[in-house]
Structure 1
């Protein structure tokens, strides 16, 4: 003869409600996991930073784009605080160069995608998709945006010039 506790456990295991609860839990877990992805909606930061660490452009070295022609991860050993963000570099020379000329090495539009800004929306750029044009760094949310911008930067910058001031006003100080 089975005890009451064993029968209750057996009924719970056989219950279709248990499957429904498990499914709800799985969906909630997926939703919470996806909430950590970069938002595609409007943001309120003047510089694209990790909302938990305050690190700008995912910790990539902004000077390395110019020196090495590629995205290079910086390290916590070489950090600088500027414009309310933590910037990482791969060496002390890049750090010093950035601090001497942040307007040159910092990503334009705070790291937001200029192709999206030209369309009137603010979407964070991905540091892996970049263009250096007229000695300025631009980050893009998608490869398609990067390629379109690279083909005709003047057209995008004209549109950005019209839209960026109003969009920038919506960002926090």
Structure 2
């Protein structure tokens, strides 16, 4: 190897490696829903980088499939100032007809925390459907406590939610 090639190899490989690593890291942050935290200053929880409500999970799938399923980019709808994703056109149509039924209660904030007077973003993977309404939770312990006595938490959360909601920007 010539002296010129050796010098170019030594000086050029590290910056290229660093740039490639930086590009991979940025792409990973954009593609992984769990890598991007939710904004906790909105009336409906949305990913602060993508703008997707409940990290792109299909809100209708909780009712229809009984599980948290990620929606598809082909089936999106804007509602409530955020973008929602769905698994299929039927789920999208159902949500648009009745967003108050399929959307998470308290905007996706953990109802046990709302009952305590604070807003903590719920995790779309930690959920419960109680009385035909979707609730998201920040911790498993919160979900378990809520499921054990939903009336107790709902009464307190519903009483505190209007004041908490006023503090959230539109």
Same topology, TM > 0.5: yes
TM-score under structure 2 length normalisation: 0.77
Check if 1:91 corresponds to 2:77: no
The residue that corresponds to 1:155 in the other structure is 152
Please, which runs of 5 or more residues in structure 2 have no aligned partner? 1-28, 30-34
Paired residue secondary structure (1:148) = helix
Q: How many residues align?
A: 137
Counterpart CA distance in 2 for 1:114 and 1:161 is 9
The residue that corresponds to 1:126 in the other structure is 123
Counterpart CA distance in 1 for 2:126 and 2:109 is 11
Counterpart CA distance in 2 for 1:103 and 1:45 is 17
CA shift at 1:38, angstroms?
3.4
Paired residue secondary structure (1:132) = strand
CA shift at 1:52, angstroms?
1.6
CA contact (8 A) 2:37 2:47 kept: no
Give the RMSD, CA atoms, in angstroms.
Answer: 1.6
Counterpart CA distance in 2 for 1:169 and 1:125 is 19
Counterpart CA distance in 2 for 1:88 and 1:168 is 24
CA contact (8 A) 2:59 2:86 kept: yes
Please, which runs of 5 or more residues in structure 1 have no aligned partner? 1-32
Check if 1:66 corresponds to 2:63: yes
Counterpart CA distance in 1 for 2:155 and 2:114 is 11
CA contact (8 A) 2:111 2:154 kept: yes
Q: For residues 25-84 of structure 1, what are the alpha-carbon distances to aligned partners after superposition, in whole Å with 9 as ceiling and x for unaligned?
A: xxxxxxxx9xx7637xx9320100011211000100000000000001101010000001
Counterpart CA distance in 1 for 2:120 and 2:80 is 19
Moved over 6 A (4+): none
The residue that corresponds to 2:37 in the other structure is 38
The residue that corresponds to 1:9 in the other structure is none
Greater radius of gyration (CA) = 1
TM-score under structure 1 length normalisation: 0.76
